[in-house]
Structure 1
Amino acid sequence: MQNSTRYLCAGAYLDDHFRDRVLREVLDDPYRAVPPSHGGFDLLPVVLHCLRAERLLLVRDVVVSVLLTAACLLASSIGGIVLSLMLLAALFTLPRMRRLPLGQRIVSVLVLQFLITLPLTLVFSVITVLRFLTASYQPSFDVNGTVTPVASDHPLLSLLLLFCAFAVALGYRVVWHFTLRVMLKPGATAGRIDEAPRFADRLAYIDRAQWGNITLYGNEYPFVGAGDVQRSWSIVVELDRLKGEKGDPHHGTRPRAHIDPVDLHAFVRTRLLEMRDAVEFPGERVERLHISDQLAVRGVFTRTEWPNVTGPRSWREQGHPLIDPDTGLPRFSAGKETVDAVIRNPQGGIRHYQRVTVTAEAPEIRDGDVQLAPAEDQEVVVSAFIHLAVEGRMLYTQCVVTVLPPVRDDFQIDRLFSLGDAALVGAAFEHAGLKLVADVMFAPARLVRTAYQAMRRSRSAANPAAFLLYPFGSRFSVRELGAAHRTDRFMQRLDAVKYSRIIEQRLTEAVVDYLEAFGVETSGYRQQATSVIDHSVHFVDNGVHVNSGGTVNGPVAAGSGATAVQHRTGEGR
């Protein structure tokens, strides 16, 4: 598995919120499309580890809930107060509570202490009374032989059960620390679908669909899975303006150039791949460059035959081209003829992009037999989405550059592999900290939530055929969900800029060469391209940074006829 895949598999154990969102997005709706996986990331092992982590967590919560319930039943009112204070401490381990200012945190302490301690004290008082009315009593006899029930209080046994609950919670953390070290070490293999037979069909679909060339997006962002947009620009050139026409008495009588966008895409692809395949010296090759076609379409489909349906509705034979009539699932792959038809019809509901992906993975440096620097995975994925359209005798060139940041630092577990067994147990203790109190005190509530999620996942999914509109589109990418907020390392940001500039320059030069071969006047195109690239319009967190100086909020357009539009994915950040 690639590093990003391993790290996100680790995230299934490290972050409950991450695991729950992955399972809800991927498994709750079996008809939901799967976003493409960029840069070698594999979604299937992450889903399998999320399921495994959920099962392990379920076992822990069942055992802890039983022990905690028994401790509560055997505790006195004083014990109830102790448990309520522990619950209060657990509440302050929540991320939302830790983000509050100091003053609000103090006020929250006083309010929660009243809202939680008082009701729980009353509950344990009721439990004490109920023990007189149930089997929890010790019979005593007076001199007249009358039996009197006396409540039996077992504070020591209650504390022992509470200690066992904490031991189980801590043991759970030790177990998954060893799991991370054994199953997710560098070079680990992906899991198998038969590990989760209940979801075998869905997992098989995910394994195939993530490598497809059709993106059904559900959040108005067509580049789902590719990260945030770093640059976006477009250039327009007139195809009827041929070279040497100024002052030409035969202007308007010369044959017009016929530009086939499919042929232009093939030419651009060849020129881009030459950076990888036609370079003599290995050190100069862009080794991690990959190009593929991508069809983007909004994943909300309308049933075309809805007004004519009288009997039971089914997706079979309903005629929508992007729904498989045999399974009712979204299609994820299109053949060359389909791709070419979309390229030649840019005004349709499907948009074609040529996706150019470069992973910033540094190869090793050697001087003969001496290794000077080992290979290093920077984990940054730079993608350029190229759209070429011929409309109204105009050639429209659009380039959108996205950057997928590395995986979150807290998911990167490579430091665990250098630890011995004792040190790994110590790391589990250190990682637990005050979270251990939350693990115990929230176990019953978490158990109810997990059971509800399992029931929701096991029930029959809604039949899309029962709706006029159905949202098939993917809402976010798991790789984006587990990504860092941004590329924090300076060298990573520089690499992202470097590869985006390389791809853009190669693209514009290829388009110019192609147009000039057909005799099209390209001075206007060159002028726009120079303005767009030299101004280096880059998207940052609070606006758009222009190398020529200054930062502005909102879109920036550079050059005559050029546009720059900012987009944000808005998911997993």
Structure 2
Amino acid sequence: MSHPATEPGADQTAAPPPLQNATRYLSAGAYLDSRFRDRVLDELMGDPHRAVAPSLGGWNLTPVLTHCLRAQQMTLIRDALITGTASLLGVFGWNWICLLLPLALLSLPRVRRGPRVWRVLLILLTVAEFAVLPLFLIWMALAFLPRSSRAFDMATGTYVDTSPSPLLIVLALLLGLLISLLISFLPLAIAAGYRINRYVALSTELRPGATLPPPGGSGDTGWRRSRKAYLDQAQWGNITLFGADDPFVGAGSVRRSWSIVAELDRTTRSDNSPAATPRDYARIDPADLHSFVRQRLLEMRDAVNEAPERVSRMHVGDHLTARGTFTRLDWPESGAPRRWSGQSHPLIDTASGLPHFVAPPEVITDVIRQPQGGLKHYQRVTVDSDGEEMVSSNGSLLAPGEDRQVSVSAFIHLAVEGRMLYTQFVLTVLPPVAAEYRVVDELPALTGPALVWRAVSRNTLDLIADTVFAPFRLVRVAVRAIRWRRETRNPAALPVYPFGARRSVRELGSAYGLGGFIQRLDADKYVKLIERRLTEAVLDYLDSKDIDTSGYRAQASNIINNGALITGGTFNGPVAAGTGASASQHGGDK
């Protein structure tokens, strides 16, 4: 198995192309959403031996990881400054941080999505605290008022009152307390300053049209540099090792799936009557059938004369998927025969101990012809989210290319077993990136004051949480570093090791649902196009082998013509059944 150096088709001499929108948005999420950043780093850097989910839809993992690491370092400095400042201010600093605690708790997802009673109680507690605050300040001022004092005046021989005016004393104490209050809010000012700095940087570094920064200068050394290099290559591979129960990790949620089974010994030349001997059957090479289907699919892009009619953003490739928790077959007590060289498993590189991510064509062909194994083959068809521009007949621009923000992937599995042909179709959809990350499209157009106001006014509760939870985040970072060090085990010393990717960065940063109605219609359009092209290609291939396709054709017709429109929720379509075969159809929402 081989490892490519770069993304297929990349030109190392040309200027770097603009970052895809999803890449920019996810990179911005590293600074705007600490929970997203922490989950990304835990998935990609928590285990140096873990595989990575494929980057489908045209986005690039490498810039996102770079920004996550950079954001982690910057927030670590910010949290250290906030904690140190609060400690130097003593009672004042920690008292005001405790005062803001209820507001910070309101920013937590569990509180926002939990029972309403908790939110009401926190709001009432905040109102009560700020209502008592002026009374507390007045009490503090009165407590420090000096008692009235008298001094003997030698000139007049009488006692005179030397106490300052009570009004001046109250004003001076209130002014002192106000200054102390402002100083106590220095931790909040540090958090606000950090956010303003990040918004200013995001308005230039991740503006529309921004390019990938040149390599080098990141300061990464040792295992972190090698890990980033591995992830940069592995994201474009054709092997996916999944850790959770999702063989299509990285492709989004499954929106539609169906399967059809047809008999290969029901030929057009046979009368199919009872006989003492088995019927003859057509011998089909599933690898040849896959090649035929691939050709028909690519004709939708490459064999269309008119540019507006091409599905130009369609990509067809191979997808090998296997459960990523491996049992070492060379374990001394296993007694398993050895048919490969190396320490652990055929899908693990013996030199680096990392999962393989690219399979050569001959391996793919072997997997296609052995459908009962643990390594399953799918032909993957992906339609990217980038739309094409519209041009009039005279060459003028009608509408620029628009990012649909939704990527559609179809996975096609063809298997020949027991004189039967099994066709499986799985449709997944990647929803748009979370709306709060897309703020980077708006920032470049703002003036300086407007940019500052946007930074401090957007998600104010999160800004307060950044201040209040700074000490806890420092502790969490230290605990995570210790945990990573302890949990970083040597797979060669264990009989079972989980190499599989658990989550996809693109899915971690996705919004809920498929966005607008037009986006759902676009997804449904490409589902119909790919489904029809697939079924007609399989039917043409079976017809060329003189196989009776009446049952297959009836099932395919029921599935395609009676399929439900993808608008969210559950698909209500019929369960197709045909002569000598069965079919099922189901769908689901994220």
Identify the TM-score tier after normalising by the shorter chain. 0.7 to 0.9
Aligned to 1:280: 305
Describe the SS at the equivalent of 1:226.
Answer: coil
Deviation (angstroms), 1:32: 0.5
Which residue, out of 186, 190, 195, partners 2:218?
195
**Alpha carbons 2:262, 2:551 under 8 Å: kept:** yes
Shift of 1:180: 1.0
**Given that residues 193 and 204 in structure 1 are in contact (C-alpha distance below 8 angstroms), is that contact kept between their aligned partners in structure 2?**
no
Counterparts of 2:515 and 2:471 in 1: how far apart (Å)?
38
Give the match for residue 174 of structure 1. Answer: 196
Which one-letter code corresponds to 2:358 in the other structure? S
Of 393, 398, 404 in structure 1, the residue corresponding to residue 419 of structure 2 is 393
Question: What SS does the corresponding residue of 1:223 show, helix, strand or coil?
Answer: coil
* Residue range with higher mean Cα deviation, 179-188 or 40-49: 179-188
Structure 1 segment 455-466 matched on structure 2, within 5 A: 455-457=482-484, 461-466=488-493
Change in 2 beyond 3 A, CA 1:83/1:397: closer
Offset of 1:540 from its aligned partner? Answer: 6.8
The counterpart of 2:52, out of the listed 27, 34, 46, is 34
The residue number in structure 2 matching 1:543 is 570
Q: Deviations over 1:62-100 (max 9, x none)?
A: 111111112224x3xxx8655432223322333333345
Q: Equivalent residue for 2:355?
A: 330
Which is higher, the Rg of structure 1 or of structure 2? 2
> Structure 1 residue 378 and structure 2 residue 404: aligned?
yes
* 2:556 matches 1:529: yes
1:165-209 CA distance string (max 9 Å, x none): 222111100011012111111222224365151310000000010
The SS at the match of 2:271 is coil
Report Cα offsets for 1:342-373 as digits up to 9, x if no partner: 00000111110000111243211111232111
Matching residue's letter, 1:22: V
CA distance, structure 2, for counterparts of residue 564 and residue 538 of structure 1: 13
Give 1:155 deviation, angstroms: 5.3
User: How far is 1:424 from its partner?
Assistant: 1.1
Preserved CA contact (<8 Å) 1:209 1:332: yes
Letter in 1 for 2:400: P
Give CA-to-partner distance per residue, 1:510-550, whole Å, 9 cap, x none.
1111111111111111111001111214677543233xxxx
Is 1:55 aligned to residue 55 of structure 2?
no
User: Match of 1:185, SS?
Assistant: coil
* SS at structure 2 position matched to 1:242: coil
Does residue 346 of structure 1 match 2:371? yes
Q: Is the 8 A contact 1:302 1:468 kept in 2?
A: yes
Kept in 1, the 8 Å contact 2:269–2:546? The answer is no
Report the CA distance between 1:286 and its aligned residue. 0.5
Q: For the Cα contact (< 8 Å) 2:327–2:497, is it kept in 1?
A: yes
What is the count of residue pairs matched by the alignment?
517
Alignment correspondent of 2:166:
none
Please tell me whether residue 162 in structure 1 is matched to residue 180 in structure 2.
no
In the alignment, which residue of structure 2 is the partner of 1:23?
A: 41
- Asked if 1:307 is matched to 2:332, the reply is yes
How far does residue 291 in structure 1 lie from its aligned partner after superposition? 0.4
5 Å-filtered alignment, 1:225-240, equals: 225-240=250-265
Quote how far apart the aligned CAs of 1:434 are: 3.6
Secondary structure of 1:544's aligned partner: coil
Q: 1:395 to 1:95 in 2, by over 3 A?
A: closer
1:229 and 1:475 map into 2 onto residues whose CA distance is 16
- Provide the rounded CA distance (Å) in 1 between the counterparts of 2:559 and 2:205: 47
CA distance in 2, matches of 1:348, 1:308: 23
Counterparts of 1:93-492 in structure 2, within 5 Å, are 93-107=107-121, 158-191=180-213, 192=215, 195-198=218-221, 199-246=224-271, 256-308=281-333, 317-367=342-392, 368-412=394-438, 413-457=440-484, 461-492=488-519
Sort the Cα spacing of 1:226 and 1:460 in 2 relative to 1 into closer, same or farther, 3 A. closer
Q: Give the direction of change, closer, same or farther, for the CA distance of 1:44–1:183 in structure 2 (3 Å limit).
A: same
d(CA) in 2 for partners of 1:219, 1:229: 15
Assess if the C-alpha contact under 8 Å between 1:360 and 1:495 holds in 2.
Answer: no
TM-score (norm 1): 0.84
Q: Is the 8 A contact 1:12 1:46 kept in 2?
A: yes
Residue pairs, 1:63-74, within 5 angstroms: 63-73=81-91
- 1:231–1:537 CA contact under 8 A, matched in 2: no
* Residues 20-67 of structure 1: per-residue CA shift (max 9 Å, x gap): 000001001000001111011111111110011111111111111111
Distance between the aligned counterparts of 1:529 and 1:480, measured in 2?
Answer: 31
Q: Is the 8 A contact 1:194 1:200 kept in 2?
A: no
**Corresponding residue for residue 141 of structure 1:** none
**Structure 2 gap ranges (5+):** 1-18, 130-172
- Cα deviation, residue 559, structure 1: 2.9
Q: Secondary structure at the match of 2:261?
A: strand
Q: Take 1:291 and 1:396, find their aligned partners in 2: how far apart are those partners?
A: 20
Task: Specify the code of the residue in structure 2 equivalent to 1:41.
Answer: W
Give unmatched runs, 5+ long, in structure 1. Answer: 116-152, 547-555
Shift of 1:450: 2.2
1:117-171 per-residue CA deviation (whole Å, 9 max, x = no partner) reads: xxxxxxxxxxxxxxxxxxxxxxxxxxxxxxxxxxxx9856743532332221111
CA contact (8 A) 2:103 2:123 kept: no
Residue 104 to residue 156, structure 1, CA distance change in 2 (3 Å): closer
What's the offset of the Cα at 1:420? 2.0
SS in 2 for 1:388: strand
Q: What's the counterpart of residue 563 of structure 1?
A: 584
Shift of 1:411: 0.9
The answer as to whether partners of 1:230 and 1:540 remain within 8 angstroms in 2 is: no
Secondary structure, aligned partner of 1:195: coil
C-alpha spacing 1:379/1:80, structure 2 compared with 1 (3 Å): closer
Alignment deviations for residues 422-481 of structure 1 (CA, whole Å, 9 cap, x no partner): 221121121152433322222111222123334444668211122211111100101011
User: Is residue 71–residue 157 contact of structure 1 (8 Å, CA) maintained in 2?
Assistant: no
Structure 2: how far apart are the matches of 1:499 and 1:80?
57
The yes-or-no answer on 1:513 pairing with 2:540 is yes
CA RMSD, 1 decimal:
3.0
CA distance in 1, matches of 2:114, 2:68: 30
Judge conservation of contact 1:36–1:211 (CA < 8 Å) in 2: yes
Distance in 1, Cα, partners of 2:183 & 2:386: 51
Moved more, 513-522 or 434-443: 434-443
Question: What TM-score, normalized to structure 2?
Answer: 0.81
CA contact (8 A) 2:571 2:588 kept: no
Contact 1:301 1:469 in 2 (8 A): yes
Q: Is the 8 A contact 2:52 2:231 kept in 1?
A: yes
Give the aligned residue type for 1:512. Answer: L
Cα deviation digits, residues 350-407 of structure 1 (max 9, x gap): 1100001112432111112321111101011111100011111111111111111111
One-letter code aligned to 1:520: I
1:372 aligns to what SS in structure 2? strand
Provide the identity percentage.
Answer: 50
Query: Is the partner of 1:377 in helix, strand or coil?
Result: coil
Distance (Å, rounded) in 2 between the aligned partners of 1:157 and 1:254: 95
Q: What is residue 86 of structure 1 aligned with on the other side?
A: 100
3-state SS of 2:349 partner: coil
| Contact 2:517–2:567 under 8 Å retained in 1 | no
Supply the distance in 2 between the matched residues of 1:497 and 1:296 (Cα, whole angstroms).
25
Alpha carbons of structure 1 residues 390 and 82: separation in structure 2 relative to 1, 3 Å: closer
